[in-house]
Amino acid sequence: MAWASRHTPTRATPRERIYLDRFYDELSADPKKIGEATRQHYAALYARPHAMHDAFEQFGAFNQDAIDNKALLAKVGKLMMPVLALGAEKSFGAGEADTLRFVAVNVTMGIIPGSGHWIMDENPKATTALIVDFLSK
């Protein structure tokens, strides 16, 4: 029973749902494309003990990531392998590819139409098609 209580999502508390809904609503091209089941699923995950704190830890690492990435770029140069940079029509767009060109030579840009930040939720067909096309080359 102890294992199940640690590994089964609990019912989301209101604050996690409110927090996540704000991001879904503000960063998507069309908030209706982020369905209720998806919202409930992620709110339940974020309601787990320490989940919000742990999720924010990735942002705390950004400064060190920048230092490490700059040092690696100076040491070994730009990535030579093909890199796919997907941006959303309503969020980042070509900016993803522009940013990756600082560290990679062979960048393929794709823009997901009718999408904001949540590309797989807002336009899964277009996202999947661009990924499959890239991987098939």
Residue range 3-37, pLDDT digits in tens: 343 444 445 457 899 999 999 999 999 999 999 99
The pLDDT, as a whole number, for residue 13 is 57
Would you say 23 and 43 are in contact if contact means Cβ atoms under 8 Å apart? no
Would you say 39 and 19 are in contact if contact means Cβ atoms under 8 Å apart? no
Q: What is the pTM of this model?
A: 0.80
Euclidean distance between CA atoms 36 and 132, whole angstroms: 28
Closest CA to 41 of 10, 4, 18: 10
Residue 96 CB: number of other CB atoms within 10 A? 19
Tens of pLDDT, residues 62-82: 999 999 999 999 999 999 999
Tokens representing 113? 């139409």
Flag whether pLDDT at 47 surpasses 60: yes
Flag whether pLDDT at 46 surpasses 60: yes
The pLDDT, as a whole number, for residue 11 is 53
**C-alpha count within 13 angstroms, C-beta hemisphere, residue 32:** 1
Tens of pLDDT, residues 76-125: 999 999 999 999 999 999 999 999 999 999 999 999 999 999 999 999 99
**In Å, what is the CA distance from 8 to each residue of 2, 19, 77, 81?**
10, 21, 44, 39
